Amino acid sequence: MSDEYILRAVEIIAGENGRKIMERLLLAHQGKSDEELAQELNMKVNDVRRILYELAKYGFVSYIRTTKGDSRWYNFYWYTDKSMSNKAIIQRIKEIIRILQERLEYEKSEAFYLCPNDNTRYTFEEAFENNFRCLSCGGELIEVDNNKIVSHLLELIRRLQTIVNEYEQSKHS
């Protein structure tokens, strides 16, 4: 995946400052300390650390911990590479696919009803319990055909799975 794709994913997770930090790390061959990043980006060290920990949680960055001499203080050198970032993005995509598949199963397994006045959606069970009346306005509920939602979910899952498959094939070639 391109640097821009990686940077956009990081920006979604950690905002504009996360993107700036990631840009620096992608260019740094030896890694950078959180203090160096803070100084270069004119940011507070604590803000840089918070973002780095967030990115590490998702697998976009990692660190090496070192000490100088007899010091009890640790220095952290943060680094990333494209394969690490790509793997993190693929993991996030797989999680999204899992969530979409759960939603797809829910949509397929339920009948839904809608209030035409306020667009509140009810499951069959909820509608039945309320005599097919809207709880908010008392309007009569109408049955909803959710085939478009099911089709849309299937298409999203297919597209995302294609990205995962292409990535995994590229790893093996």
Residue-level pLDDT at 84: 87
Please give the Cα distance from 99 to 79 (Å, whole number). 30
In whole angstroms, give the CA distance from residue 56 to residue 67.
21
Domains of the chain: 3-80 (1.10.10.10), 86-172 (no CATH)
pLDDT at residue 173, as a whole number: 67
CB distance 7 to 22 below 8 Å: yes
Mean pLDDT, to the nearest integer, of 46-68? 93
Q: What percent of the chain has pLDDT over 90?
A: 74
pTM: 0.73
Tell which wins on pLDDT, 69 or 56.
56
* Residue 57 and residue 34 in contact, taking contact as beta carbons nearer than 8 Å: no
Helix ranges (DSSP H) in the chain = 3-27, 34-41, 45-57, 82-109, 124-129, 147-172
DSSP string of 70-111?
A: T---EEEEEE--HHHHHHHHHHHHHHHHHHHHHHHHHHHH--
pLDDT digit string, tens, across residues 16-32: 999 999 999 999 888 99
Task: Give the separation between CA 51 and CA 98, rounded to whole angstroms.
Answer: 26
Query: What average pLDDT does this structure show over 3-25?
Result: 92
Cα–Cα–Cα angle for 92, 97, 101, rounded to 5 degrees: 150
